[in-house]
Chain A
Amino acid sequence: MTETSEKIKELAQKIEAMKQPSSPEKAVKTVSLGAQAVRICIDLISGVIVGSSIGYILDEMFDFRFIFLLIFTIFGGAAGILNVVRYINRNQEHKEEN
């Protein structure tokens, strides 16, 4: 009888554990340093590429030589750094929470 009640208790605990929303972020949190470095690199580079592309298109549209390209490349670089800072801050917050 006690064995059955213990099994029921165990099952109830398992059900409770299953009810807790599993956090997929945890998997992302525990990614290797290499994966984090790749993500940071992609974020940095994509900022510059997107910024310079916007600048290039604006230059073509308004028939300027390279003014928009220059301005938006700088903005893109800054946006990339902003994304990286946000990502690192978020990671830091998660680490502190744990």
Chain B
Amino acid sequence: MSDLMEQFAIKTVKPLELNGYNVSFTNSSLFMVIAAVFIVLAFSLCLKKKAIIPTKAQCIPESIYEFIYNMIESNIGKEGLRYFSFIFTLFLFVIMGNVLGMMPYCFTFTSHFAAVGALSVMGLLFNVTMGIKKRKWGYFRTFLPHGVPLWLAPLMVPMELISLATEPFSLTVRLVMNMMIGHIILKLFAGFIVMMGVFGIIPMIFDGFIIVFELFIACLQAYIYTILSCIYLGQALNGH
């Protein structure tokens, strides 16, 4: 059986170096670009003929738009709609990364800590920046909630800071682990198909079910990632 982790290997497509740092264009970067280009192309094609009574193709981007709109409205409120483009892009990028990884010969960039971690940290920086922009110095009250005596500040402030830093970490771990484990199980059963010869039909049927389940997980995890990002943004804007 081939190495189960081989599918996650980063391969250099175009070697690049910047100030002594390796900034090569890898298979992960390539699939990120493919995901972004695919989203733009699909949306452009679906929205080519804009009609008041939407066509079937127009319904797809419109329903995604409405879905994200409602998500933001119920988690952050009307003022959260200012950040619609950020949440919308985040959702599409993650779901496309997850689903693209399910296609044969495609690479799942959402199964890498570096890629998702960078996205989550950028999300955290965005939340903090928007929180400070909106609430000015009031944002820093988050680190010492109301009702907490001042003498507890040396304990509460580091705890709240670490609590803030765990947000991108838990987001990343949840998504990466789900994608990684799903793909490992898929490959494991695919290996049994070859090994078991004629009886390989049994793991093959099982693998089919796992593919469907994994597609569902890919969408669900993108949804969870986005909704948690919404909740964290809402906390930054409105406090706990």
Instruction: Please list the residues of chain A having a beta carbon within 8 angstroms of any beta carbon in chain B.
Output: 21-25, 27-28, 38-39, 42-43, 45-47, 49-51, 54, 72, 75-76, 78-80, 82-83, 86
**Which one of A22, A46, A83 lies within 8 Å of B173 (CB-CB)?**
A46
Cross-chain contact B159 with A75 (CB below 8 angstroms): yes
What separation, in Å, do the CA atoms of A76 and B75 have in the docked complex? 27
**Which one of A23, A43, A45, A79 lies within 8 Å of B159 (CB-CB)?**
A79
Cross-chain contact A79 with B70 (CB below 8 angstroms): no
Cross-chain contact B74 with A49 (CB below 8 angstroms): no
Q: A22-B74, A23-B74 are in contact. List 15 more A-B contacts (CB 8 A).
A: A21-B73, A45-B173, A46-B166, A46-B173, A47-B162, A49-B169, A51-B162, A54-B162, A72-B158, A76-B162, A76-B166, A78-B159, A82-B159, A83-B166, A86-B240
Q: Does B174 have its Cβ within 8 Å of any Cβ on chain A?
A: yes
CB closest residue in chain A, given B71: A24
**Which one of B70, B159, B166, B170 lies within 8 Å of A24 (CB-CB)?**
B70
Cross-chain contact B74 with A50 (CB below 8 angstroms): no
User: Which 6 A/B pairs are nearest by Cβ-Cβ distance?
Assistant: A79-B162, A79-B163, A46-B170, A46-B169, A46-B166, A23-B74
What separation, in Å, do the CA atoms of A22 and B71 have in the docked complex? 8
What separation, in Å, do the CA atoms of A42 and B225 have in the docked complex? 14
CB closest residue in chain B, given A43: B170
Cross-chain contact A47 with B163 (CB below 8 angstroms): yes
**Which one of A24, A45, A79, A80 lies within 8 Å of B160 (CB-CB)?**
A79
What separation, in Å, do the CA atoms of A49 and B169 have in the docked complex? 9
What separation, in Å, do the CA atoms of A76 and B74 have in the docked complex? 31
What separation, in Å, do the CA atoms of A22 and B166 have in the docked complex? 29
Given the complex, which residues of A lie within 8 Å of B57, measured CB to CB? none
Given the complex, which residues of A lie within 8 Å of B227, measured CB to CB? 24-25, 28
B134-159: which residues lie under 8 A (CB-CB) from chain A?
155, 158-159
Cross-chain contact B159 with A25 (CB below 8 angstroms): no
Q: How far is the CB of A40 from chain B (nearest CB, A)?
A: 10
* 6 A/B residue pairs, CB under 8 Å, sorted by A: A24-B67, A25-B75, A39-B174, A54-B165, A75-B162, A76-B162
Q: How far is the CB of A96 from chain B (nearest CB, A)?
A: 18
Cross-chain contact A42 with B162 (CB below 8 angstroms): no
Over the window 172-199 of chain B, the binary record of Cβ atoms lying under 8 Å from chain A Cβ atoms (1 yes, 0 no) is 0110000000000000000000000000
CB closest residue in chain B, given A49: B169
Given the complex, which residues of B lie within 8 Å of A25, measured CB to CB? 74-75, 227
Q: How far is the CB of B30 from chain A (nearest CB, A)?
A: 30
Given the complex, which residues of A lie within 8 Å of B155, measured CB to CB? 78
Q: Does B64 have its Cβ within 8 Å of any Cβ on chain A?
A: no
What separation, in Å, do the CA atoms of A23 and B173 have in the docked complex? 25
Cross-chain contact B165 with A50 (CB below 8 angstroms): yes
What separation, in Å, do the CA atoms of A1 and B39 have in the docked complex? 47
Cross-chain contact B169 with A50 (CB below 8 angstroms): yes
Q: Does B8 have its Cβ within 8 Å of any Cβ on chain A?
A: no
**Which one of A22, A23, A42, A76 lies within 8 Å of B170 (CB-CB)?**
A42
Q: Does B88 have its Cβ within 8 Å of any Cβ on chain A?
A: no
Q: Does B223 have its Cβ within 8 Å of any Cβ on chain A?
A: yes
What separation, in Å, do the CA atoms of A79 and B74 have in the docked complex? 27
Given the complex, which residues of A lie within 8 Å of B67, measured CB to CB? 24
